[in-house]
Structure 1
């Protein structure tokens, strides 16, 4: 069966946080993300990888709903700690963000990293 790229409907079903994002914006994000996975991937994982990359990219631009999109919209996604009066919030993913990998900034990106690592494990150099 030939690979069928994910559609706007596929992405919004998998990630309802983007349901309110215009279809044209989602379609552009999916097109931009298409290069994340090639013919060497199993079809289901390839589609998932493309959708995760698109969701990650949109979240970084502050699109969609959810805490990460709101933080990105406010320019605060990279913070690992927030304090206001008695309230202090720390992000559990601080070590992932410190890794320097841009995908570590969102939950979608971290899921994509795990998927990539499952297909392309690290190389041991002796």
Structure 2
């Protein structure tokens, strides 16, 4: 069976936080994310990777109803706490975020990083 790219309905089923996002918006995100995985990937992993990349990209743009999207809309993604009196802003010290990898900014991106790690074998140094 040939690879079938994910549809907006597929993404909404997997990630309910995008249930109210217009299909056209999701279609564009899926098209932009299509290059994240190639024909060498098993179809199921490829579809998942494309959807994770699209969800990550939309979340960074503040699209969706998840907490991370709401924080991105407010320009506060990556902060773990706020305080109003004598302003205190704390950023996450998560090792994934400390790595500087842009995918580490969202839960979707971190899942995609995990998928990449599963697909690439470790390097053995002797």
TM surpasses 0.5: yes
The alpha carbon displacement at 1:96 in A equals: 1.5
Question: Which residue pairs with 2:31 in the alignment?
Answer: 31
Question: Which residue pairs with 1:108 in the alignment?
Answer: 108
RMSD over aligned Cα, in angstroms? 2.0
In structure 1, stretches of 5+ residues that fail to align are: none
Query: In the superposition, relative to structure 1, how do residues 96 and 84 fare at CA in structure 2: closer, same or farther (>3 Å)?
Result: farther
Question: How many residue pairs were aligned?
Answer: 124
CA distance in 1, matches of 2:56, 2:69: 9
Q: Is the 8 A contact 1:38 1:46 kept in 2?
A: yes
The alpha carbon displacement at 1:80 in A equals: 4.2
CA distance in 2, matches of 1:67, 1:46: 26
CA distance in 2, matches of 1:23, 1:93: 35
Question: Which residue pairs with 1:41 in the alignment?
Answer: 41
The alpha carbon displacement at 1:116 in A equals: 0.7
Query: In the superposition, relative to structure 1, how do residues 36 and 93 fare at CA in structure 2: closer, same or farther (>3 Å)?
Result: farther
Query: In the superposition, relative to structure 1, how do residues 109 and 78 fare at CA in structure 2: closer, same or farther (>3 Å)?
Result: same
What whole-Å deviation, never above 9, does each CA across 1:6-62 have from its counterpart, x for those lacking one?
000000000010011111110000000000000111100100000000000000000
Other structure's SS at 2:26 match: helix
Question: Which residue pairs with 1:94 in the alignment?
Answer: 94
CA distance in 1, matches of 2:12, 2:61: 17
TM-score (structure 1 length as normaliser): 0.89
After superposition, residues 1-126 of structure 1 pair within 5 angstroms as: 1-84=1-84, 94-126=94-126
In structure 2, stretches of 5+ residues that fail to align are: none
CA distance in 2, matches of 1:47, 1:124: 29
